[in-house]
Chains A and B, each alone.
Chain A
Amino acid sequence: MKFWDDIVQAALIGTAKQGLRAEHFPAPVAEKLQAAAGDDAESLFLKGLVLSAQFRRSGALPVDGSVAERWECPAETQAPCSERAAIILESLLDEGEPMLVHFWLDQCRARKLRVPAHLVAPLLQFVSSREELQDAAAACCGFTGNWLATFNSDWDFAAGVGGEERWRTGKAQERLAFLTKLRKQDPARARTLLMETWEEENAHQKAAFLEVLSIHLSNADLPWLEQLQGEKSEKVRAVRCELLKRLPDSKLVRAFADALQASISITRSKVVLGLIEQLNISITNPVSLSDEVQEAGIKLVQSDIYSAHPTLAALFRSTPPGMWANRFNERPEAIVSLFRNHVYYKNYLPEITKAVLHFQELAWIDVLGLRNEAPFDALIASALPAPLGLEYAWKRFAKAPREVVLFLRDAKYPWTIEQARTVLRFTTAEPYGYNKNFYLGIVWQLPEEIRFELGAFGPENVNHYWDTIKAEIEKILSLKAQILQSF
């Protein structure tokens, strides 16, 4: 539109310096302007401007879009959630309440439903800065979410596993996000992709990508991790070592066990005229360690400490007890008894306990008596399979309510009405210690019907703050009930 460009140029300079004559305007405009020939330069220009703007607008045509890049989202196969559930989600997003959004998403995911299209973008935006919600959101956003994520790197967490192009061509952060997501959904494929490009990555990326294998780490990763022995980068070697330390079947953990075996001696002897057989244990300080063990951070320390030699303590801590103990063909109970009854060696028991919990050696938990009269320990509760861990925790509620409540909050298993009463009797007595966020955090566990009993709880001296908290709990439980009914 040259005529418009000329008008803009003339307008920029001003009629005092450069006027426009009628012939500079488009012919139909020029024709109309003849009637204003006697006007001053500004009037003539302004009239020409009005007519030309109208001329331009009326002549506007759509742009040729034949070269436009088009994308189409695959048709959804999952059914959408109910309209009522969608209305609730919309208001939760609007209210900015992450815990309840998380609860909503869990219900949606459990029923294999999806968020309706009009809420996908608002949901992705909502969770983009809330990592703890991203997996649940990605699972509920259907193909629309996967598809939208391909256009917006802030939503990488929702990109489908099919987006391997992103792994090959994306920026470092995009690739890391993709690999992390893939590892959560398909650990083997994630490992394969990483193996394919491994040699092309720089040390920094290698370390970052390798760390992703800590998600769903298993023996399937072991052969490749073992192969990476020759890696030059210290950072990469450190990440590999941390991964191997978590795999009891790795050569590294076996090397720890070998080192322990070399230091421990368990023998049988006869006492009381040879009538009774007795087990004896002796532990010598290690005199050498393999390079592999030393590279894993366990150094050979010269020490005269008999009670808990630092090198041995580290080895006990890093090795599944079953692995070294089985080599002596003795029952775990007998071995534990040897340690427990020895004046110095009993000091290694806390390290052995750490290894038991770390490697979740359930048999040893009982052998060490950790589930019996021991005080509540969140590590023990977490190491036990869910029903046993919960049983362990509930049994210790009276003695350690604070610690148990925190464990139960994070365990995300529903409570019976009686269990809920037990917790609320304790927490509502301390309204300043357990606020709205705490109750939002236990929305999964609390049965909705407890909301009708809230009047029975509260601190001894009822105060305004408790009233506020009570109203919040009512609201949370009412929303939970609405969410559950809406699905």
Chain B
Amino acid sequence: MAPDASAAKSAKDLAHESRWASCGSGDRVLWGECKGSGAKNYRTQIDLAGIAFKCSCPSRKFPCKHGLGLFLLFVRDETLFTEQAPPDWVAEWMKKRQQREEKKAERADKPVDKEAQEKRRQKRGRRVEEGIADLQRWIKDIIRHGIVAAPEKEKTFWRDMSRRMVDAQAGGLASQIRKLGETDFTKENWQTVFLDRLAQLYLVTEAFSNIEKLSPEMQAEVRSWVGFGQQIEELRAREGVRDEWQILGRKLEQEDNVAIVRYWLYGIRSQQFALVLQFHVRGRAPAISLAPGTAVDAELVFYEGVLPFRAAIRTQFGLKPLSPPPALPDWQAVVEAETAWNSVSPFLEEKPVIVDKIRPAKLGGRWALLDEKNRAMFLPDDFGQFWNLLGQSGGRPSRLFLLGKEHSYTPLGIWSGGKYQLLG
């Protein structure tokens, strides 16, 4: 949650009883008054249902060290927070938040200018088509001259085409080109990694060129890969799924100045995965913060697509304890599920799976994940949480939450000793 390492460190310094003149908790809210260098204490409050922070300090970081410190203190010692009626300054903030939510809902109901919207859509479509024609020529050039030259290419080779796609308003393609150029050419199997990425890029361009022949769900999927965002109004109009969403994984990525947090959720009643992406500019407030290893009672709306994992949180109702979700019994079930997914969507992406009774073992000099039937998948060579996985499993069969494809799976969490622990 911390906007940077220094805020995280300062927050830890503040996560001590002695630094707070008072603290308390109420229905879905925490508050505290932090002793600062000035005469007045800083008033800090946290909305637990939506995980939102507010503080009277002048910091431009969000959440500030006081918000984080208060949250950390709560995690460390809940008993310090006596339950009571919130003071006026907390009650007022909570009321304003509620009013803001209501206004948001009202705004969503306002009619939009459909004609202008369609014009804009067509204009963008033409720019993307032109960009894609250039991109296809570029891909064919690579294949004509052979990928053997790819490792020697200058950075500008990838960057220029990526920028061309940004100009063509195809941000999704730009990102895939960047990724193609970032292939680790020092690795033994770089050719397969590179060709997979190139094939994916080509597939998206071909699919977009023939988009009118595709189903509406597939069209949405392809458009999303190209870089078309779904209109928030359209998203809001979709039916939501209220469930107890188990927050099973969190992956952080940094693209330029934008932090991307990928939260993997699993709905305990709907039995489906959801991927909630959180984009925020450094130092600015993220719209949501989810705590992995907990569950949230929330309504999610899924983006349109053939395999709709991507979702947005429409409403959060509160936190819930984590309950163990069902799991696939072995790797055979995983590959069958993967093949079924591939038959629905040809777009290559790591898939989320929960698999039971998996143990780490060494196979042919590599660390592998073995199921009960002695069938194995491999851990990626750069898996940084190996010792943690080994320590938590004790080499015994455990239930894991993983992301992966083909023969490579990355554990993101483990159920160990009746509890769920994140790996990483």
Contact = CB atoms under 8 A, between A and B. Distances in A.
B144 A15 contact: yes
B143 A11 contact: yes
A100 to B, nearest CB: 11
A110 B388 CA distance: 25
A13 interface: yes
Given A42-B143, A57-B405, A122 B388 contact: yes
Interface string A428-440: 0000000000000
A49 interface: yes
A50 interface: yes
A408 to B, nearest CB: 24
Interface in B176-192: 191-192
Contacts of B191: 8, 11-12
Contacts of A16: 144-146
B18 interface: yes
A125 B387 CA distance: 9
A58 B192 contact: no
A284 interface: no
A148 B417 CA distance: 18
A271 to B, nearest CB: 73
Given A17-B146, A475-B13, A57 B391 contact: no
A405 to B, nearest CB: 24
B368 A65 contact: yes
A116 interface: yes
A246 B302 CA distance: 76
Contacts of A91: 12, 15, 72, 76
Contacts of A68: 361-363, 368, 370, 374, 376
A408 B76 CA distance: 31
B399 interface: no
A376 interface: no
Interface residues of A, number: 67
Chain B interface size band reads 35 or more
A91 B16 CA distance: 12
A66 to B, nearest CB: 5
A125 B363 CA distance: 25
Contact of A46 (B140, B361, B387, B407): B140
A225 B202 CA distance: 76
Interface string B198-210: 1100110010000
Contact of B370 (A12, A56, A70, A94): A70
B391 A121 contact: yes
A118 interface: yes
A72 B396 contact: yes
A302 interface: no
A482 B76 contact: yes
Nearest to B394: A73
Nearest to A52: B199
A147 B378 CA distance: 22
Contacts of B394: 72-73, 117, 144, 147
**Most A-side CB within 10 Å, residue of B143, B192, B342:** B143
Interface string A13-48: 111110000000000000000000000111101110
B251 interface: no
A12 B346 CA distance: 24
A326 interface: no
B160 interface: no
A456 B230 CA distance: 63
Interface stretch (B110-118, B120-128, B264-272, B331-339): B331-339
B395 A71 contact: yes
24 contacts: A11-B146, A11-B191, A12-B146, A14-B145, A42-B143, A46-B199, A49-B202, A53-B348, A54-B342, A58-B338, A63-B375, A63-B378, A70-B359, A72-B396, A88-B76, A91-B12, A91-B76, A95-B12, A117-B392, A121-B388, A121-B391, A474-B19, A478-B18, A481-B17
Given A49-B202, A71-B361, A118-B421, 15 more contacts: A41-B144, A53-B195, A57-B405, A60-B338, A61-B332, A64-B374, A64-B375, A65-B361, A68-B370, A84-B77, A117-B394, A117-B417, A124-B387, A148-B387, A477-B18
The 5 closest A-B pairs by CB, nearest first: A14-B146, A65-B376, A73-B394, A62-B375, A62-B331
Interface of A: 4, 7-8, 11-17, 40-43, 45-47, 49-50, 53-54, 56-73, 84, 87-88, 91, 94-95, 116-118, 120-122, 124-125, 144, 147-148, 151-152, 451, 471, 474-475, 477-479, 481-482
